[in-house]
Amino acid sequence: RDARPSDAPQPAIEIRHLTKHFRRRDGSTVPAIDGASLDIQDGEFIVLLGPSGCGKTTLLRSVAGLETPDSGAITVGGKAVFDSGSGTNLGADRRELSMVFQSYALWPHMTAAQNVRYPLENQRGARQGRAAMNERVAEALGAVGIGDLGGQYPNQLSGGQQQRVALARALVNNSKVVLFDEPLSNVDAKVRESLRIELLAMQRRFGFTALFVTHDQAEAMELATRIAVLDRGKVQQFGTPDEIYARPATEYVAKFIGNTNELHGRRAEGGYETPLGLVRTPQDAGDQATVLFRPEHAELSAERPGTASALPGRVVAVLFMGTHTEFLVRSGETRMRIWVSGRSTDFAEGDEVWVGLREDHVMVFPAAQDRGDQ
């Protein structure tokens, strides 16, 4: 049943052909998870990414044991925790993992130390003595660098300190797997940025395997060793941030990660014929295709470039964004956004320009009507 060679490392989490339907009020059912499979290795930081309703929370809660899938199998640390075939379904408290909830979900009426002690007090099986528990709590708080804050209540702590308490609580049981349900979603952008960096440092230091849910693609790119992009309960692509950005498997992934410019293309000699001219590419996505390229992958020039694909247009706006300058270029009905790094004054509103595209920066996908799924 297990085709893996015996010397291969045991995945930290293995999700196999998982499905979960919810019943709507009108009696119809929605697939929240639709045949999802993921192999997650020890120490990885995995992000489940997708828009609201794509099923990421349901998938996370299924691993946690807070949701019962219809079918499929899940292992954690090599141990079957759910298997619809054999009827295995361990309760949440018997899966060797911890969960960090939205906004950390610290108990407001408990001190930091009491919050961290909570899972130890509610542990199944052999309970430890008070002294042993206190020692573990002090260790955990010390490990995340807030050994002196055990007596504080959550509302007396900064966002960063609250995150550390939540992590100490997740790690106090020696969990090797920690699940995160959008923990940073209610934090303002600046603080969020520093919490992310800190979370990553903690994860590297403790070496736990992280499964982290977010709808924020920048957050996913920054945190993940690998990202699973979900759409309507299906894993569209599972890969490193680089792979997902540079070689998106589907149009959906290409548009969800990063920014894109879009043209309709009809297959022609050497590439695709678009309303703005031939876009050269060796890729073949059928007769009718959606041609995409990213704003940072195009170059503007006054003269028609010799080698690259060249699309004519007129600059209709120039926006300085700090890290880059955005040129809005219009050509007939088509609008394109082109980014030049830093502050660029090369072109101004009203200038006629050429948008140059290298072959390796062009992405083509079967046009919607050819895919038969829209």
Give the footprint of ligand ATP on this chain (CB under 6 A): 22, 30, 32, 50, 52-58, 215
The residue (of 54 and 74) whose beta carbon lies closer to ligand ATP is: 54
CB of 50 to ligand ATP, least distance (A): 6
The residue (of 55 and 248) whose beta carbon lies closer to ligand ATP is: 55
The residue (of 232 and 314) whose beta carbon lies closer to ligand ATP is: 232
Strand partners, 300: 355
Dist CA 115 CA 137 (whole Å) = 9
CB 112 within 8 A of CB 157: yes
CB of 282 to ligand ATP, least distance (A): 36
**163 secondary structure, DSSP code:** H
DSSP alpha helix (H) spans, 176-295: 189-206, 217-223, 241-246, 251-256
Dist CA 73 CA 320 (whole Å) = 50
CB of 212 to ligand ATP, least distance (A): 12
Dist CA 223 CA 212 (whole Å) = 9
The residue (of 29 and 128) whose beta carbon lies closer to ligand ATP is: 29
CB of 299 to ligand ATP, least distance (A): 37
CB of 30 to ligand ATP, least distance (A): 5
The residue (of 56 and 226) whose beta carbon lies closer to ligand ATP is: 56
Coil/strand/helix, residue 313: strand
Angle at 294 between CA 291 and CA 298, to 5 degrees: 95
Cβ contacts of 314 within 8 Å, gap of 6 or more: 329, 330, 331, 350, 351, 352, 353
User: Which residue number has the CB closest to ligand ATP?
Assistant: 57
The residue (of 16 and 56) whose beta carbon lies closer to ligand ATP is: 56
Which amino acid appears at position 86 of this protein? S
Cβ contacts of 125 within 8 Å, gap of 6 or more: none
CB of 301 to ligand ATP, least distance (A): 42
